[in-house]
Structure 1
């Protein structure tokens, strides 16, 4: 499957070819709500070595507890493109809203639901966690899909 996308102004673009549908999940944490200016953020978890990224980016990095995160934004319009985290080594957490074909994506899971907006009703039978799941729990839940 070919994935392509980029930032709002067009200065940054990316493409990737992956073997299967991307793992898409919604994060309802307070950081994602603030960063996205919305009630949740939609992410696609993808292998970082499968991407070609073109254009100027800037990095925002931070550490929280034992996790390290590096966020990459367009250096021109500051659209967040992706981040990496020590919780998922070797993976890109792509902002699904930057994909060209984002309308076809459906979240396979929801995390940080303890901060979910009360008016948002999640579909029945979808994996949810009140905070971050362990990588093992996330992988196990996703292996039952499809």
Structure 2
């Protein structure tokens, strides 16, 4: 999706604008970490250049060491605790936006599905969907898998 994107948290205390720039198409993650973090079967994300994000409102930060060894920081609304985006030290300068926080979230259809080996068995994926048992390991692999937005 081209152009400027806007969104915010559940309670409205945090708002953001994502300027047009380096961003990848949205993807669905079916890993058990996302399942535990969201209390759902998967989460939808979009990788983007952190420098393109302008945000207002108070954020809090949660931290987590991923099984890969990458250190993640999860940024969300300090009031309603809705997660907005995350960074990790394996992707310097990039962040992962939670697509459900976008004002036009319904227009973001996942370009691919990662960690399908841990997908809930009752989740059906569209015929012909791009899938990976795990996830791309480099920025180049992410771009090849989901493409630039």
Using the size of structure 1 for normalisation, the TM-score is 0.90
2:20 to 18, 21, 27: 18
Structure-to-structure mapping, 1:1-146, within 5 angstroms: 1-19=3-21, 22-64=24-66, 65-135=68-138, 136-143=140-147
**Alignment deviations for residues 5-42 of structure 1 (CA, whole Å, 9 cap, x no partner):** 11111111100221587520000011111211211001
**What TM-score do the two structures reach when normalised by structure 2?**
0.88
**What's the CA shift for 1:110?**
0.8
Unaligned 5+ runs, structure 1: none
Distance 1:87 1:21 in 2: 17
Aligned length: 145
Change (3 A) 1:139 1:21: closer
Q: Distance in 2 between matches of 1:89 and 1:117?
A: 31
List structure 1 runs of 4+ shifted beyond 6 angstroms: none
**In the superposition, relative to structure 1, how do residues 66 and 95 fare at CA in structure 2: closer, same or farther (>3 Å)?**
same
Aligned equivalents of 1:130, 1:99: Cα separation in 2: 27
With CA pairs under 8 Å and 6+ residues apart, which has the higher RCO, 1 or 2?
2
